[in-house]
Amino acid sequence: MERTTTPQTATQMFTSLRKAGPDTEELSKAAEIFELTLVLLKERAGRRHKRFLGESEILTVEELELVANLSGCPPPTACPAESRSSKYRSISGLCNNRNNPHWGAANSALARWLPAEYEDAGSQPKGWNTGQLYTGYQLPPVREISNKIIQSSSKHFLEDDAYSQMLVDWGQYIDHDISFTPQSTSRAAYLEGLDCLKTCENVSPCFPIEIPPRDKLAGSRSCLPFFRSSPACLNGMTHIRRDGLTQPPQRQQMNVATSFIDASTVYGHNENVQNALRNLSSSEGLLAVNTKFSEDGGRSYLPFVPTIPSACLQDPTAREADRVECFTAGDSRVNEIVPLSALHTLWVREHNRIAKTLKRLNPHWSSEITYQETRKIIGALHQIITMRDYIPKIIGEQAFDQHIGPYEGYNDSVNPSVSNVFATAAFRFGHATISAKLQRLNESFQEHELYPSLNLHQTFFSPWRLVREGGLDPVLRGLLGQPAPMVTQEHLMSVELTERLVLLNVSGAFDLAALNLQRGRDHGLPGYTEWRAFCGLPRVETRAELSEVVSNEHLVEKIMDVYGHLNNTDVWLGGLVEDLLPGARTGPLFACLIGKQMKKLRDGDRFWWENPGVFSPRQRQELQRHSLSRVICDNSGVTEVPLDPFRTATYPDDFHLCDNIPSLNLEAWKDDLNQDNPCGFPIEMMNGDAVYCYKSDKLIVWDFLLLWLYINRLFLLLRIDTG
């Protein structure tokens, strides 16, 4: 009741709707208890010995593991023996790599490609301690960087002549498939009890963003609230061995999602979420859909969250009985922005469309087999669309060949876990490409007569705009028919994101640029020059060297003026301002980091669609024919699409009728019942579970219930015979 009558602040809305699930919260609490215990032990030991002591000086590795276990961190996972169910990836990503079960799994630590740079070497963010110097200078406040560098360049907006708005929104969608860093579960400082929404002190987990005097966001505030990312549990806290040396444990951050491109946005990353999203009463392996609303033509919407009333905004003209609650999906961020909700909805519809067809082709399949086979196809399509159609446009064909190259098979020595620098900096390049408006277009790809375009902040946490304002079609046409914003050194980010992020008609707003910079410091990311060296690029430490990679001299001057020394440059800012590579939407540093990550996601995934044995040759051929354009055709009222939905298209010249767009022939998944088949999964029978085997022309059915009764009867007779 309070939620429906009391306006929530932007911070409360942003936090509540990005909340991780109960399993993640338990792990986060355990990791926070573990880290706080280490802090208290170090303080106590330091007072006793009258000097600073690291963890390795007061605790052995075995004692660290004991503290972790007592804190609630789970022990390492052992993979079960291979079984027939192993043909499908686990929902959590566990045991994808059977030698290293946690690689790429949900709720494991983000990978570190370079050690973290914390001010106390263990956990304190960069910029935590007042007066701390870096190469002779204090780090500039992140809001100052946003004001002087990001926003000063945001006046000259250009449209991308090559790529559509769909490229931007697919980037956000696929980012949510592979990474989600949760914020601290605590809302107040651990020991002092300060409320992080009200304090401007650096007291973990509070790391507030300083607001300069007379700043537009100031009002009565001198800071923006900021919660540190939750630490990862034991697998991110143990000693890191590099070059034979043992380093003290450093705070690592958690990835809630599976690192794999596996459509966890559709299916979730744990059993509870997966089961909640399924229609378990269906014999066709379907996903659950909304039971209150549907589009014209019967096309479904996502189901609502189970707890209502929910936190999402409402149509001010609608009756209380007609509330549109928050959608639920495999990722809790589904409601952040309307295009994201539309893409989530599209893939749930595609799952159900494919599942129904597979069940019709294979009526002997159980609901579980139909669901898993469909999930496998949807995951493969996410991989193909991302790696074939999206990534080459982002990093350029040359960088793709250099950093990714052709597929050479699964490599179990490759760790596919998403890296900290990728999730926290490199893949956030896309924030600069977000448009200030959401275009909604009619069937002629002109401004919609009933549903005009919206300012970006009007689309935050507003699923009602899909249900009440024309469904998916106007939004999808806008993504296909509108050019993306062109990232230039004169236009780095829209003021909708630096001044009005999650503005909810109440006081208070976020600055996305400042948030990105503060998050990188929270995670202890090394600076821009260190990452260039990691990628084999020349270091950039002088004005002349920066001018070679940033051609805008005015921007070079501002960076030098704000940072003092280029070694201090935050990696997100440095990568963002580099000159773009030919045919790319990133510069050399981000192209390197994104390319390296994508190669690891591909080569370290045992279930990658191209890996022999995952799909048959005929099935792989069919998967390659499919496209995001065809998915839109099959699951919306849009009847004309471009062949490549990521390229800028002019209507009607560049659009094709859906009848002319190649489609996926699911006959490739039809079982040939005349072929010899090994025993398969249990199918549903009247007397319990059974397996079926085909031998020549005979169907042999083993009913496990009857078999169990028969064996027990023999056992009893044997006992009687032996006295």
Active site amino acids: 176
Q: How far is CA 611 from CA 100, 376, 607, 608, 662, in A?
A: 19, 13, 7, 5, 24
**Residue whose tokens read 């169910």:** 85
Q: DSSP for 388-408?
A: IIIHHHHH-HHHHHHHT-S--
Q: Can you point out the beta strands (E) in 230-381?
A: 240-242, 245-247, 254-255
- Strand, coil or helix: 125: coil
Q: From residue 360, how far is each of 109, 675, 686 by CA, in Å?
A: 42, 19, 21
Give the strand pairing for 454-455 and 483-485: unpaired
Give the DSSP per-residue string, 421-457.
HHHHTGGGGGGGG--SEE--B-TTSSB-SSS--EEGG
Q: Residue 440, Cα to own-chain centre: how many angstroms?
A: 26
Looking at residue 148, what DSSP letter applies? I
Q: Is 457 annotated as a binding residue?
A: no
**Euclidean distance between CA atoms 658 and 71, whole angstroms:** 56
Pairwise CA distance, residues 620 & 90, whole Å = 21
Q: Which residues are CB-contacts of 111 (< 8 A; sequence separation ≥ 6)?
A: 415, 417, 418, 419, 420
Cα-Cα-Cα-Cα torsion 472, 474, 476, 479, nearest 10 degrees, comes to -150
As a whole number of angstroms, the distance between CA 693 and CA 712 comes to 24
358, exposed or middle or buried, with CB in 10 Å at 0-12, 13-18, 19+? buried
Contacts of 510 by beta carbon, 8 Å cutoff, 6+ apart = 10, 11, 14, 224, 501, 502
CB 467 within 8 A of CB 445: no
Residue positions counted in the chain = 723
**Separation CA 590–CA 535 (nearest Å):** 10
Question: Which of 450, 422, 382, 420 shows the shortest CA–CA distance to 602?
Answer: 382
Cα–Cα distance measured from residue 227 to residue 194, given in angstroms and rounded to the nearest whole number: 12
Alpha-helical segments (H) within 229-298? 234-237, 264-267, 271-277
Rounded alpha-carbon distances, angstroms, from residue 214 to 9, 147, 197, 211, 221: 22, 12, 21, 9, 10
Known binding positions for heme b: 431
